[in-house]
Chain A
Amino acid sequence: MTSFYKRLERTSCESPDFDTFIRTVTRLFSEEYSCTALFCEIFGKRWSYLTGTGNLPAGAARRETFKAVSRQFGILIFPDPGDRFQWESAKPVLIHSFTLFLDQQK
């Protein structure tokens, strides 16, 4: 596992709350891949932003989706870091973290 995924995992453990976690993950993407990452919740086909305020190139962003606590989430990443970012390695960490934090919010 490369440093990015280790840092992602550490962020999940060390963040006191959901907002801090998301903010830190966003920073990780910026530092590691020089790209912007935005988290969304998906309702039907609408992507509603959990972070950020929408962004012009969002349509051209790489889109990855995952499910946590029966809710559908997505992450927009732009520009696309390509093979440097392995979604399959990040996905379980995000699902685990989202589940943890969303359960706390209940």
Chain B
Amino acid sequence: MGKKSVQEWADDVVKNDEIDRYLDSGKDFIDHEAIESHLSQNQNPDKIKIRDIIQKSLSIQRLDPDETAALLHVRDKELREEMAAAALEVKRKVYDNRIVIFAPLYCSNVCVNNCLYCGFRKDNTHEKRRVLTPDEVRKEAQALVKMGHKRLIAVYGEHPLSDADYMAETIKAIYEVNEKTRKGTGSIRRVNVNAAPLSIEDFKKLWKAGIGTFQVFQETYHRPTYQKMHPTGPKSDYRWRLYTHHRAMEAGIDDVAIGALFGLYRWRYDVMGLLYHAIDLEEKFDGIGPHTVSFPRLMPADNAPYSEHTEHLVSDDDFKHLVTVLRLSIPYTGMIITARERPELRKEVIKLGCTQTDASTRIGLGAYSEQYDRQEKDRQQFVLGDTRELDDVVRELAELGMISSFCTAGYRCGRTGDKIMGLLKCGTEGKFCKLNAVLTFREWLDDFSSPETQKIGEALIKKEIDEIHKDPFFANNPLLKEFEEYYTRVSGGERDLFL
């Protein structure tokens, strides 16, 4: 059999039987009428109702669509402040005060799709196209390890040159990297993937390669807008994308990440879409909801006119509110704020209950090892708002009283899928988060920090250890003894000890 053309490959991507099996009586889980109805019926929610909803969220219960719709319409300043405070409290209950740090690694920017807002779209002839070889990917990973990163998200365009086999090969290449550091050694311990929807068979390839989380965003849950934004290619199939996470779960990948690109359609609608997505995953997979939720805002992209002329741009205030509502609506899930946003806004939003952020981010192909000092629009998907070094981000978080965590323990201890969901909902996972955050922060301070960051970091680590000793959860708990032993060993130069 001859090799398929790119078009033939693209035409074969969507497998209808891997959509239909998840539908309920032929319908998908985005009930447009129900979403509009919830939104229109909750335009003026009363304070008592809102405060009851906040209490429900504080007990780490996922909210119902009606409750989320009510939160979305809160305009009262005082009430919004109460919600913001509750959002941070929810995050502390579930994840303590740690922020997981990661970096994106763009492996390819070839794409068969034509998303109107994206710099990688097929018809953008300005874009310099490239598929990194496994060796080039390894060099990128080495550069990131030398900065102190332990967790990556590898990003791929949808194209036969960067198919599932290529992804698996590059994941393996990343895991092979091992670099000497000031006091120990460094490596990438968890590779997550952001890529186009795959078939179950292809997901199994990523599973075998050792993927952490699979992330794909629906962009917008509003179907007519989705069709307008994604005119051609496999991505034009709304339902193929909508059920990506279901297929990943069926293939064994039980950490999946959802998201919406805010700015394509009404932001309240897409928050509701994310909630419906989480609910359907919970219902179909024994309570396993999304591992993380992302909420990128549309940013200018090279030669992608829609990115600069959308009628649905989200203001900073609305953006902060939607993050708060997401935090309260799906209390157990991780929430990711990225370097798309400018530093001052990121600093504010992170206090609304975010759990992960990227740092020292570059999104050009080969940018970490070849062109670290500048952004190049014609090699990027969009323009970044925050290009600060990892050391600067870690220091700023420490100044906010938040500990940067490089922890990757969960998926090496069986804490994925339903296991981690149970632990998150009862608050136990947060205890592990705290211990592992301290261990990995100790590593990072010793291996990578500047003197300025080291100073504030030492004070923070002392405070964290004091809190651990005072926490009743750890009293008479053998975990504490293990932690103390590990901390001593890590301080002596041993690496990758976790609980």
Q: Which listed residue (B252, B413, B478, B482) contacts A47, Cβ 8 A? A: B413
B169 to chain A, nearest CB (A): 12
- Interface range on chain A (Cβ under 8 Å from partner): 10 to 19
Q: Is the CB of B479 within 8 A of A54?
A: no
* Contact between B414 and A60, CB atoms less than 8 A apart: no
Interface flags, A29-52, vs B, CB<8A=1, else 0:
000000000101011111111001
Q: CA–CA, A53 to B419, complex, Å?
A: 8
Smallest CB separation, B394 vs chain A (Å): 23
CB proximity of A35 to chain B, nearest CB, Å: 13
Scan A53-70; emit 1 where CB is below 8 A from any B CB, else 0.
111111110000000000
Q: Knowing A45-B175, A47-B414, say if A60 contacts B210 (CB, 8 Å).
A: no
Those of B384-436 within 8 Å (CB) of chain A = 408-409, 411-416, 419, 428, 432, 436
**In the docked arrangement, what's the CA distance between A36 and B428, Å?**
21
Q: Known contacts being A59-B432, A59-B499, A60-B499, is A46 close to B482, with CB within 8 Å?
A: no
Among A42, A43, A44, A55, the residue within 8 A (CB) of B414 is A55
Q: A59-B413, A60-B479 are in contact. Are A46 and B210 (CB under 8 A)?
A: yes
8 Å CB contact of A58 from B252, B408, B413:
B413
Whether A46 touches B412, Cβ cut-off 8 Å, given contacts A57-B479, A60-B499, is: yes
In the bound complex, do residue B209 and residue A43 qualify as a contact, i.e. CB atoms below 8 Å apart? yes
B residues less than 8 Å from A60 (CB atoms) = 478-479, 482, 486, 499
Dominant secondary structure of chain A at its interface with chain B:
mixed
Return the contact of A45 from the options B252, B412, B415, B432 (Cβ within 8 A).
B412
Residue contact A45 to B210, C-beta cutoff 8 Å = yes
Q: Give the docked Cα–Cα distance between A88 and B412 (Å).
A: 23
Chain A residues, CB < 8 A from B210: 42-46
B272 at interface by CB-CB < 8 Å:
no
Q: Which residues of B contact A47 (CB under 8 A)?
A: 411-414
Asked whether B207 is an interface residue with its Cβ less than 8 Å from the other chain, the reply is yes
Please determine whether A54 and B190 come into contact, CB atoms closer than 8 angstroms.
no
Closest Cβ–Cβ distance, residue B411 to chain A (whole Å)? 5
CB–CB A43/B208 < 8 A: yes
Please, which residue of chain B has its CB at the minimum distance from the CB of A60? B482
Bound-state Cα–Cα, A46 to B210, Å: 6
User: Residue B243 at the A interface, CB < 8 A?
Assistant: no
B180-199 interface bits toward A, Cβ cutoff 8 Å, 1 = contact, 0 = none: 00000000011100000000
- Measured CB to CB, the residues of A under 8 A from B are 38, 40, 42-49, 52-60
B residues with a Cβ closer than 8 A to A are 171-172, 175, 189-191, 207-212, 252, 408-409, 411-416, 419, 428, 432, 436, 478-479, 482, 486, 498-499
List 23 A-B pairs, Cβ < 8 Å. A38-B414, A43-B208, A43-B209, A44-B172, A44-B175, A44-B211, A45-B175, A45-B189, A45-B408, A46-B412, A47-B413, A48-B252, A54-B415, A54-B419, A56-B428, A57-B479, A58-B413, A58-B415, A59-B409, A59-B413, A60-B478, A60-B486, A60-B499
- 3 residue pairs, one from A and one from B, having the closest CB atoms: A44-B210, A54-B414, A58-B413
